[in-house]
Structure 1
Amino acid sequence: MNTLERVVKFLSDYFALLVIAAAALAFSNPAPFKRIAPHIPLLLGLVMLGMGLTLTKNDFVAVFERPRDVVIGILLQFIIMPLLGVLIASVIGMNPDLAAGFILVGCVPSGTASNVMTYLAKGDVALSVTVSSITTLIAPFVTPYLFLWLGGKYIPVNATALLIDIMKIVLLPIVTGVVIRQLLGSAVQKFIKVVPLISVLAIIAIVAAVVAASAQRLASVAGLVIVGVMLHNLCGYLLAYMVARKVCGMSEYKAKAISFEVGMQNSGLGAALAMVHLSPVAALPSAIFSVWHNISGPALASWWARRAGKQPGETPDAKAGV
């Protein structure tokens, strides 16, 4: 393992702790980190470019081989998390900024960390990758209007401007990454290992910038936001798994993937959009989500992996059956 691989592994293994440390530093000394805030869309664009560089046609094979599974994952992603955001904001009685922030983080697509968690949990990785890729690609056309419908009453938002920004932050970088990979495949392979490093550092910087921008308000709402985020994430895992298993009749192998796809959000996108279109306080749920789902995800994946190890062996092909 070379030095770069060691650095990437260290950042990945201790990502949650590093995010917490960066957030604490930004809270105690916000001034330097506030300078990052105007560059949040650019940082997220780099993350999305990296995602595009790693995509291949095999990532979309499941769309044609198992369209039912993919459609279930997409629908649950854009139904469960947005409605949970509305419910949690209403039950806890949040102010308009926080309520809008919770609904927005529910309306963004799946987070790419869900693919790794599915792998660690011994779930259907192909299904996970396809669902997260498709939800990300269609997000520009779904997220703005879904948020306008559910969260527009809390904070007025221009859905068209939101759509354009998501196109610039998400779709354009991903398409650019895919094109670069197709044209310069061999050259891309030489530096593809740098992509996770850039992504991790970008997300850490985004969280720190959001915390710095709302440091004055954070002390009074931190407990509320943390409880809300934990409920949002954990209920997302549970509801997605139960619907996939009990309602849609999916195998546990597939249901694990659906659970992570729904429960883990692209919180970096939520933070970027909230900072530009809503307010720094509205970006807090996304920032806290970035920390929490990187704690809950590995914990759930580890539990599922141990549980799978205690059960009779079953081939992936067998597990893939509905």
Structure 2
Amino acid sequence: MQRVQTVGDVVGRWFPVIVLVAGAVALAVPGVFDGWSSAVPWLLALIMLGMGMTLRPVDFAYIVRRPAAFAIGLGAQYVVMPAVGWLLTVLVDLPPEIAVGVILVACAPGGTASNVMVFLARGDVALSVAMTSVSTLVAPIVTPLLVLLLAGQYLPVSAGSLFFSIVQIVLIPVVLGFLLRRFAGGVVDRITPALPLASVIGITTVVMIVVAGSADALFAAGLAIVGVVIVHNLAGLALGYAVARAFGLDATARRAVSIEVGMQNSGLAATLGTVHFGPAAALPGAVFSVWHNVSGAALASYWSKRPVPVTTTRE
């Protein structure tokens, strides 16, 4: 029987095109978005609220069922991308604000679109959801400390300020969304089908605001920024897969870890850059938002055509 397409399927397929067009529009008419930067934290908070409303207690059961796979994936999330991001800022001569922006992306939790990509890739969706959820919940502690460690050489970093921003923008909305599902499940179930579309609108708007606000910086150092973002993302995808394979995870788990590691919550990185470091620091996050949806969708499409035998650990 042919599976009926959901809104999430359509969003996953067209999201890369949508964000590419949005970025181009923002570059073409940046003045349209003047004064919109204050809306970025609120938009991300709404996206995180929607993510919280999709969570259920059973999503965390994976941690108990397969603690080793979860620990390997979460460890890779917060080791691989920060290490690669820091190395790129050392190797490539970037302005300080943009270098900090690269590190913000590197130290962010898993991306909000990763679960859809893992589903399309026939990966371990339960592992993907557990990694996204927990990496998001621990982000108020882990992300500021990593940014302080890796980005302090470029600009002054206040780990305390980053902590409070992440709590306000990410943790509180996610927990509130989770509680809404727990105590008002009937209402949440009725609006859940619209959440993927709402997330696309929110993320796309954030990309447009950030790209428009830092258009001059993008034109000045565009190729360097785009090159660093592409290498960062591809390295995350490849190394995430390699780490999972080295630890003997099965093929579906390797796909999930690869995508989770390579796809960051770049909207959070762009928001933190905007609030704490300036428009240029938000630019790597905006470019990453565009690119990782393109690469993630391409990889998901490739893997979707390669079914995975349940009993094998090799593809």
Classify the TM-score, shorter chain.
over 0.9
Structure 2 equivalent of residue 264 of structure 1? 263
Uncovered stretches (5+) of structure 2, i.e. residues with no partner: none
Instruction: Note if contact 2:122-2:252 (Cα within 8 Å) is conserved in structure 1.
Output: yes
* Matched position secondary structure for 1:156: coil
For residues 142-179 of structure 1, the C-alpha deviation after alignment (integer angstroms, 9 at most, x for no partner) is 00011000111111111101000000000000010011
- 1:72-124 deviations in Å (ceiling 9; x for gaps): 11111000001111111111221211111111100000112221121122111
What corresponds to 2:309 in structure 1? 314
Q: For residue 103 of structure 1, what is the amino acid of its counterpart?
A: I
Q: What SS does the aligned partner of 1:314 have?
A: coil
Q: 1:9, CA displacement in angstroms?
A: 6.1
Please report how far the alpha carbon of residue 38 of structure 1 lies from its aligned counterpart in structure 2 after TM superposition: 0.6
Q: Is residue 254–residue 320 contact of structure 1 (8 Å, CA) maintained in 2?
A: no
**Using the alignment, how far apart are the partners of 1:10 and 1:132 within structure 2?**
21
Matched pairs, number: 310
Rounded to whole Å, the distance in 2 between the matches of 1:254 and 1:14 is 25
Q: Is the 8 A contact 1:124 1:320 kept in 2?
A: no
Quote the Cα distance in structure 2 between the aligned partners of 1:155 and 1:142.
19
Offset at residue 36 of structure 1 (A):
2.0
CA distance in 2, matches of 1:169, 1:132: 16
* Distance of 1:104 and 1:7 partners within structure 2: 30
**How many angstroms apart in 2 are the aligned matches of 1:56 and 1:7?**
20
CA distance in 2, matches of 1:146, 1:163: 11
Q: Decide whether the 8 Å contact of 2:74 with 2:131 is kept in 1.
A: yes
- In structure 1, give the amino acid aligned to 2:249: M
Contact 2:124/2:256 (8 A) holds in 1? yes
Contact 2:84–2:232 (8 Å) recurs in 1: yes
Give the distance between the partners of 1:233 and 1:193, measured in 2 at CA: 29
CA distance in 1, matches of 2:10, 2:131: 28
Distance (Å, rounded) in 1 between the aligned partners of 2:179 and 2:7: 28
Distance 2:112 2:185 in 1: 21
SS state of the match for residue 307, structure 1?
A: coil
- C-alpha separation in 2, matches of 1:163 and 1:272: 13
The question of whether the paired residues in 2 share the 8 Å contact of 1:12 and 1:200 is answered with: no
Q: Which residue of 1 aligns with 2:64?
A: 64
Cα pair 2:236 2:262 within 8 Å, conserved: yes
Contact 1:140–1:166, Cα closer than 8 Å, also in 2: yes
Residue in 2 that maps onto 1:289: 288
User: Residue 8 of structure 2 contacts residue 116 of structure 2 at CA under 8 Å; is this kept in 1?
Assistant: no
Superposition deviation, residue 6 in structure 1:
8.4
Unaligned runs of 5+ in 1: none
What is the deviation of 1:267? Answer: 0.5
* Closer/same/farther in 2, CA of residues 131 and 9 from structure 1, 3 Å limit: closer
Task: Give the superposition deviation at 1:34.
Answer: 2.5
Q: Which amino acid aligns with 2:90?
A: S
Report the AA paired with residue 268 of structure 2: L
Q: Is the 8 A contact 1:82 1:107 kept in 2?
A: yes
Alpha-carbon separation, structure 2, partners of 1:199 and 1:135: 19
Instruction: Describe how 1:199-214 pairs up with structure 2 within 5 A.
Output: 199-214=199-214
Map of 2:122 onto structure 1: 122
Alpha-carbon shift at residue 71 of structure 1 (Å): 1.0
Match of 2:298 in 1: 299
Alpha-carbon spacing, 1:319–1:109, altered in 2? closer, same or farther (3 Å): farther
Spell out the pairing of 1:127-138 with structure 2 (5 A cutoff).
127-138=127-138
Q: Is the 8 A contact 1:140 1:167 kept in 2?
A: yes
Q: CA deviation at 1:22?
A: 1.8
- State the alpha-carbon separation in 2 of the partners of residues 34 and 162 from structure 1: 25
Q: Residues 12 and 70 from structure 1, CA distance in 2 versus in 1: closer, same or farther, beyond 3 angstroms?
A: closer
- 1:284 aligned partner, one-letter code: L
Whole-Å Cα distance in 2 between the matches of residues 114 and 196 of structure 1? 12
Structure 2 length as normaliser, TM-score?
Answer: 0.94
Contact 2:115–2:128 at 8 Å: present in 1 too? Answer: yes
Considering only aligned residues, what root-mean-square deviation do their CA atoms show, in Å? 1.8
Distance in 1 between the 2:119 and 2:64 partners?
21
Q: Deviations over 1:298-320 (max 9, x none)?
A: 11112222233xxxx733xx468
